[in-house]
Amino acid sequence: MTQHPAAGAQPGPLRAWLGLVVVLGPVLLVSMDGSILFLAMPRVSQALNPSADQALWILDIYGFAVGSLLVAFGNIGDRCGRLRLLMIGASFFGLGSVAAAFAPTPELLIAARAVMGIAGATLLPSALAVLSELFADPKKRAQAIGIFAAAFAAGFAVGPVIGGVLLERFWWGSVFLVNLPVIALFLCFAPDLLREVRATRPGRVDAVSVATSAVGLLLVIYGIKHAAAEGLTLSAVAAATLGAAVLTWFGLRQRRLEHPLIDFSLFRDRTFTVAIITGLLPLAAWSAAAYLAGIYLQSVLDIPVLHAALLALPGAVVLTGTCIITPMVVDRVGKRTALLVCHFSIAAGLLLLLPTAVTGGIGWYIASTAVAGVGYGISFAVVADTAVAAVPAERAGSAGAIAETSNEIGNALGIALLGSLAALLFRFQGPDLAPTLGETLQFPDLTPRLVTDAKAAFLTGLHIAAATAASLHLLLGLLALRWLPRESPTPTTEREAAPTR
């Protein structure tokens, strides 16, 4: 599916780079809002008193909305125009941010986060398409896309840090209002600096596929969350079973469509499959570890929120730096080696969380984020390129869309699945006063023994979740070692002489 600008000459170099700066604003916001609540959740819980499953929905409904609609809005943008969809999406993202900041109840905050997620799904694919049209020179376009990827990674990494800094001075709603200046600047400058982009042969968007994929995911995750919070009830089993059936029907439907929402035949290629799992699993591990570690620092170790945010900074720097450096290194060492380092470093980093204790563990936490940050940065940098390179050129668009979707779904699944696992363990091992650590610590006249027992139960959940994620990364690393072919690194002179595709 080829794309072309609506009209006019190619923009000059200065205008192209200014357009890149404008595009990066929404990109940063979409990724940052996937993680900015990790340190803010204790404050949100104090203000709105959500239940255990409501707290998890507040965190991950955003990621599910973005991930389940990315491919659909990519096709819609092809039909109605990428720039137009960017403007509409940015406007609704701003409105959703205002609604979230002033939400008086957990239910309204969940709804506002869902609106932000739907709007965010319009921004990512359209921003990348518009960005690609700004740069005619392939080398400059590659540089711009690299900056785009680094900005997306940086947003995920610095979200908790920015949230912590804001919470030190302002109330919890400020973590959403920080979006408004960026949205306002984008809406002011985008019409002048960016150009409209449409596809020459847009495919039809299958509304049934969009609905079934979103509904199936939400039903499965609802069943898992409900089981973690309330036990294995009939409603939890029924929801998860129905969701699995809907997703199965969704997968069968894709095989019959001329323009499927997800082209499952691409997964016949082992390299593509490993790349997509690498897009999903590291984001799942990172989001769950960041969320649970944020609670650990504030509620177990009683560290102020600003201090907790600063402790997350080394890992954020390592993640962002690795994302920038990896494209320059991967040409020399090969994608196979890069993916192996990705999974084994994430596993090692997660295992460094196991020595943390109720009485201390700050050093282990910092070491964990730094070591795992190497792997997270590699995953951001190589997944899309590896997935696209593994398929024929005419299917590159579908491969890229699935790679983007795997990132967003992974970010939400981490909190939903590993967060639910930690919540389930706390429910079984905690003092049985409330389903979460935050709610338990709010009980009046708690004895020191009960406080210690509650913190120890939460820490057990954190350790089991981290060990589970580490085990999955070790398995995927071994799978990549077996499945991925060995590569001969391309000499520098050959790379420079090779034609740009």
Domain-located, residue 295? yes
pTM above 0.85, yes or no: no
Using DSSP, state whether 174 is helix, strand or coil: helix
Rg (CA), the chain: 22
pLDDT of 330 reads 81
DSSP tag of 418? I
DSSP tag of 415? I
459 close to 358: Cβ distance less than 8 angstroms: yes
Residues 304 and 219 in one domain: no
Domain boundary among 174, 195, 216: 195
Pairwise CA distance, residues 155 & 172, whole Å: 19
Q: Which of 274, 162, 218 is nearest to 412 (CA)?
A: 218
Domain-located, residue 138? yes
Q: Which of 139, 483, 493 is nearest to 343 (CA)?
A: 483
Residues 176 and 118 in one domain: yes
pLDDT of 494 reads 42
353 close to 494: Cβ distance less than 8 angstroms: no
Using DSSP, state whether 424 is helix, strand or coil: helix
Listing DSSP states for 428-492 in one string gives: HHS-SS-SSHHHHHTSTT--HHHHHHHHHHHHHHHHHHHHHHHHHHHHHHHHHHHHSPP--PPPH
User: Domain of 408?
Assistant: 279-491
Pairwise CA distance, residues 486 & 501, whole Å: 23
User: Which backbone phi and psi does 3 adopt, to 5 degrees?
Assistant: -125, 150
Q: Which long-range CB contacts under 8 A does 475-478 form with residues at least 24 apart?
A: 476/274, 476/277, 476/278, 476/281, 476/343, 477/339, 477/340, 477/342, 477/343, 477/344, 477/347
pLDDT of 60 reads 76
Domain boundary among 152, 168, 195: 195
Amino acid at 311: L
| pLDDT tens for the chain, residues 1 to 501 | 444 444 444 556 777 888 888 888 888 888 788 778 877 888 888 888 888 778 878 887 887 787 777 767 766 776 677 788 888 989 999 999 999 999 999 999 999 999 998 888 888 777 766 776 777 676 676 667 667 777 777 777 778 788 888 888 888 888 899 899 989 998 998 888 877 665 554 556 678 887 888 788 778 877 877 776 677 788 888 988 999 999 999 989 988 887 787 778 888 888 888 888 988 899 889 888 988 998 899 889 999 877 888 888 898 889 888 888 887 788 788 888 888 999 999 999 999 999 999 998 999 999 999 999 999 988 887 877 777 777 776 566 567 667 777 876 787 678 778 888 888 889 888 887 877 887 788 888 788 889 999 999 999 999 999 999 999 999 999 988 888 877 655 444 444 443 333
Domain-located, residue 265? no
Return all residues near 278 (Cβ < 8 A) that are at least 6 apart: 339, 342, 343, 379, 382, 383, 386, 476, 480
By CB atoms closer than 10 A (0-12, 13-18, 19+), residue 98 is middle
Question: How many separate domains does the chain show?
Answer: 3
Domain-located, residue 500? no
Bridge-partner residues for 360, per DSSP?
A: 357
pLDDT of 155 reads 79
294 close to 437: Cβ distance less than 8 angstroms: no
Other CB atoms within 10 A of residue 171 CB: 12
Residues 243 and 326 in one domain: no
Residues 100 and 222 in one domain: no
Residues 292 and 145 in one domain: no
Domain-located, residue 482? yes
Residues 116 and 21 in one domain: yes
Q: Which two tokens stand for residue 317?
A: 């720097």
Residues 160 and 41 in one domain: yes
Helix 52-80 to helix 270-295 angle (10° resolution) is: 140
User: Which backbone phi and psi does 368 adopt, to 5 degrees?
Assistant: -60, -50
Domain-located, residue 335? yes
Residues 221 and 182 in one domain: no
Residues 187 and 327 in one domain: no
Residues 231 and 305 in one domain: no
Pairwise CA distance, residues 342 & 478, whole Å: 12
CA dihedral (266, 272, 275, 277) positive or negative: positive
CATH (domain of 64): 1.20.1250.20
Pairwise CA distance, residues 465 & 417, whole Å: 9
Residues 244 and 327 in one domain: no
DSSP tag of 4? E
Pairwise CA distance, residues 143 & 148, whole Å: 9
Domain-located, residue 201? no
Q: Which of 309, 304, 291, 296 is nearest to 437 (CA)?
A: 296
Secondary structure of 186-197 in HEC code, one letter for each residue:
HHHHHHHHCCCE
291 close to 59: Cβ distance less than 8 angstroms: yes
419 close to 56: Cβ distance less than 8 angstroms: yes
Residues 368 and 233 in one domain: no
Domain-located, residue 8? no
